[in-house]
Amino acid sequence: MRRPDGEPVSGDFAVEERPLPSVGEGQLLVRNLYMSVDPSMRGRLERTEKHYTHNFTPGSPLDGRALGVVEESRCSSVPAGAFVRHQLGWRERAVLDVADTDGADRIDPRLAPLPTWLGLLGQTGFTAYVGLTGIAALHPGDTVFVSAAAGAVGTAAGQFARLLGADRVIGTAGGPDKCALLVKEFGYDAAADYRAEPVREALARLAPEGIDVYFDNVGGEQLAAALHALRTGGRVALCGMMSQFGGERRPVDINQLIQAVLKRLTLRGFIVRDHEDLRPEFEQRVADWLTDGRITARETVVDGLENAAGALLSLLGGGNVGKMLVRLGDSD
C-alpha cells in the first residue's frame, strides 16, 4: 500500500484479513458494532507528522473510535457481553488492553442508543461542548456562527449553543438541503449555503449586528468572513481547517487577522482530549437533554467494513448529515 498522493481515492484503501493476537491477562476480545468516521482522519493520511496524534502507516490498519461488545474477557471489571468504546476501529474484532488510556471505556446502552455513544455523547459531542464552553466561553445572549454546521460536530454545536443560552445561532453548509435541515432539526436560526453566496455577505445579511462566537471547522474564506463579522471581544474556537485540503482553493491572506487587533478578538485552537475535566458536566448535561428530547441525534450510517473507505471519502466530500458511522456485522 502507498500513502495517498493528495486527495485520497478508494484505491488507497483495502480490506485485508489479519490474525488476531491471543487475549492476554487484563485484555478483552471485542466485536465492533459501530465505528466512527472522522474528518481528522484526512490529516492522518498525510506524511507530515502531527503533534497530537500519530499518522496512519501504509500497509497497517487504520484506527479510530469504535464501539463493540465484549466477546471474551480476561479482565474482572468488564464481563463478556459488556459494551465498550475504544480506539481500535477500522476492523471487525480487536483485542484491547483495559489498562491503557482510552483502552476501553464501558458504556451503558440503556442510557442512549449505541450510535449516540460515538456521536452526541462521544468525542464528537464533547468536541462541540468543549469548543463552545471551555474555548469560546459562550455567554447567554451571544450570537454564534458555526461552519460545517451540518457535520457531526456542527449539528451538535448548533443545538448545544442554543441550549447553553445563545441568542442567535447561524450555520453554513454545502447546499440548500443541508441548510434547510439546520433550521428544521438542529437548532439553527438561519443557515447559508457557502457554495451559493460569499460567507461574508451571508453573515452581513443573517447577523447584521455581528457575531460573538465563531466555531471554526473549516478555516479559509469562512474564517476570514467570521473575523470581519465578529464584534469587539469576540472569540473563535479553532477546531479544524478542512479547507486546507481543498486543492484549488484561493488562499486567504493571514493578515485578515488585523481584525483580531482592531476588535480584540481571541482565537484558540484546541484538541478535545486536553479537556477531560469538562467531561462529567458534558455527559450529565447531554444525557439530560437527550432524555428530555431537547436534542436530536442524527447519524449517517453506512453498512459493512468493505464500505468504510467509501464512507470516509463521502464524509470528506460533504456527503453526510450529522455523525458518519459504519455499522459492522449484525449489530442490531
Among 153, 225, 239, 311, binds a second copy (CB under 8 A): 239
Instruction: Read off φ and ψ for residue 111, nearest 5 degrees.
Output: -75, -35
Q: Is 114 or 132 the residue whose CB approaches a second copy more closely?
A: 132
Confirm or reject binding of residue 195 to a second copy (CB under 8 A). no
Q: Which is nearer to a second copy, 31 or 263 (CB)?
A: 263
Per-residue binding string, a second copy, 206-235, x by CB under 8 A, is -------------xx--xx-------x---
Listed in sequence order, the residues at least 6 apart from 220 whose beta carbon sits closer than 8 Å to its beta carbon are 241, 243, 244, 246, 249, 251, 252
Give 39 or 171: the residue with its C-beta nearer to a second copy. Answer: 39
Task: Report d(CA 280, CA 109) in Å as an integer.
Answer: 18
Residues with Cβ within 8 Å of 91's Cβ and at least 6 positions away in sequence, in order, are 18, 32, 61, 305
By CB under 8 A, name the one of 100, 108, 177, 274 that touches a second copy: 274
Q: Report yes or no: 162 and 175 within 8 Å, Cβ to Cβ.
A: no
Query: Residue 253's Cα: distance from chain center in Å?
Result: 27
Q: Least Å distance between CB 200 and a second copy?
A: 13
Q: Cell numbers of 186, please?
A: 438542529
Q: Are 37 and 324 in contact (CB under 8 A)?
A: yes
Told to check if 200 binds a second copy by CB under 8 A, we report no
Q: Specify the residue, 239 or 295, whose C-beta has the smaller distance to a second copy.
A: 239
Cell of 252: 486567504
Query: Which of 1, 15, 80, 262: binder of a second copy (CB under 8 A)?
Result: 262
Site residues, a second copy (CB under 8 A): 50-52, 219-220, 223-224, 232, 238-241, 243-244, 251-271, 274
